[in-house]
Structure 1
Amino acid sequence: MNRDAFENALTAEGFTEFVLVTREAGELEEHTHPFEAKALILAGEITIRVGNDERIFQPGDIFHLGANAPHAERYGPQGVQYLVGRR
């Protein structure tokens, strides 16, 4: 899915805030966000751990986290860039 199609799909789902996120290689310990997030990976990779489940997302992949869902993030050797819709 390309960026425009992703934004259009999320707008249709009721997402109103879009943010381009760039992270350097590294980790973020378990945390939560007060918003629902759905993101399209544009470059690099991110590993997201929810509970005991861990998944790697690469360009073209989409991840979805509910509001207040505890999760940890690890960014690949080249970091990651993704477009996220929040609601």
Structure 2
Amino acid sequence: MTILLQLVAAVGWRGLIAGVVGAALSAVAAYPAGRLVERAVCKERIVRRLAEVELQNQETRNARIQEALDARRTVRHGNASAADGGLPDDGFRRD
């Protein structure tokens, strides 16, 4: 309490009120800026995670396609037959 009284005595009650008002105004101005920065950070994290998931899905699809192409090449060159399981199920029906 004595520190507060010394501060009031040093700057006066008008100075103390001006300091409180200035601190309040700076807090009010900083709050939207902080929210804007936090929103941008969250958006960047979400976009990065979505890109990672899409990359994993693309790599999985590419691996399945490559596996099917390798099996077709193997069957085409006579090293294995389709009856021996040379063609994996790649999701397309061939009736």
TM-score, length-scaled by structure 1: 0.16
**Higher relative contact order structure (alpha carbons within 8 Å, sequence separation ≥ 6):** 1
More strand by share: 1
CA radius of gyration, larger in: 2
TM-score, length-scaled by structure 2: 0.16
More helix by share: 2
